[in-house]
Amino acid sequence: MKNLLLIALTTTLLFPTPSQSDTNHFGAGGVFELDLGDSEIPLTPKQEREQKLLEERFKKKEK
């Protein structure tokens, strides 16, 4: 019985199971920050039309 307990204790010390907290790949803070620098993401044609409409409405309100 003592041998079985000793084997169980030894295997848990040699081969620990990973805990849930070990699955975080973003570091200790858990925050992932992507630096795009000065690059701009181009607008889709629909977004361009919406942007133009918003600019026109804004210009009308200024007058």
- CA 34 – CA 41 distance, rounded (Å): 14
* Mean pLDDT taken over the chain: 77
pTM above 0.85, yes or no: no
Torsion angle (degrees, nearest 10) of CA 53, 58, 62, 63? 10
pLDDT tier for residue 11 given thresholds of 50, 70 and 90: confident
Question: What is the per-residue pLDDT across 28-63, written as a single tens digit (0 to 9) for each?
Answer: 566 667 777 777 778 899 999 999 999 999 888 876
